[in-house]
Amino acid sequence: MSNFVAINRIYCREDYRARFEQLFATRAHAIDRMPGFLGMQVLRPQRDGEPYLVVSFWESKEAFEAWTGSPEFLEGHRRGFEDVRRAREQGQEPPMRSEFVTYDVIAR
Amino acid sequence: MSNFVAINRIYCREDYRARFEQLFATRAHAIDRMPGFLGMQVLRPQRDGEPYLVVSFWESKEAFEAWTGSPEFLEGHRRGFEDVRRAREQGQEPPMRSEFVTYDVIAR
């Protein structure tokens, strides 16, 4: 049962949205191998100005933190990180920025 | 399978947090009777300044919208709505405010 939820809020440049969605439609599934990982959902907001949400469900905070320090984390983000790196090298604004917010599940 | 997610962001006054959590720990479960309802989670943020999130998972947007217009919606929110009404009658700031944001699930 999911006791811990991490939400990655992703603010995408308009011209990067199709690429962003394609990255997740073809995601690496590296995270699926992590102990304590229970599932994820990628959420497209129905209101302008809201970020995409990448929601992952975990057995515990420790399981989530083990993932963020793992080779699977790098593998799962490789193409996105590369897009951001390339934009920076070319002096452009990064195509997306993101921030994690974490939560305890207190009721169901 | 969940194709649609609604997130109710709830900003609670500090002195109302214990009451808010207790309302959900003893929730009416009226929503559980709605066709197309797949589950919910109440999320307490681990970072100050972030709202609580009440996340509900639905088969479709139509199922969610049927709920927001239903007697079950009023039944499920009765005690919270009453707390807000009482504060307003006494000229106080409402103990919480909330806003729904809705999402399509585009990947898992």
Residue of B nearest to A107 (CA): B42
Q: What is the pTM of this model?
A: 0.96
Candidates A92, A96, A60; CA nearest to A81 is: A96
Which of B21, B107, B108 is the closest to A106 by Cβ? B21
* Cα–Cα nearest to B53, from B14, B104, B96, B3: B96
Report the pLDDT value the prediction gives residue A50, as an integer from 0 to 100: 97
Residue B1 has pLDDT above 90, yes or no: no
> B79 is written with which tokens?
């005690």
- Nearest CB to B43 within list A5, A27, A43: A5
**Contact yes or no for B6/B99 (Cβ under 8 A):** no
Q: What average pLDDT score do residues B17-39 get?
A: 97
Bridge partners of B95, per DSSP, are: none
- Is residue A106 over pLDDT 90? yes
A3 inside 8 A of chain B by CB:
no
Question: What is the C-alpha to C-alpha distance for residues A80 and A96, in angstroms, rounded to an integer?
Answer: 9
Q: What is the ipTM of this complex?
A: 0.95
Confidence of residue B104 (pLDDT cuts 50, 70, 90): very high
Q: Which domains does chain A have, with CATH numbers?
A: 4-104 (3.30.70.100)
pLDDT band of residue A1 (cuts 50, 70, 90) is: confident
Residues of B in contact with A8 (CB under 8 A): none
pLDDT of A11 > 90? The answer is yes
**A25/B106 CB distance under 8 A:** yes
Transcribe chain B into DSSP letters.
---EEEEEEEEE-GGGHHHHHHHHHT----GGGSTTEEEEEEEEESSTTPPEEEEEEES-HHHHHHHHTSHHHHHHTHHHHHHHHHHHHTTPPPSEEEEEEEEEEEE-
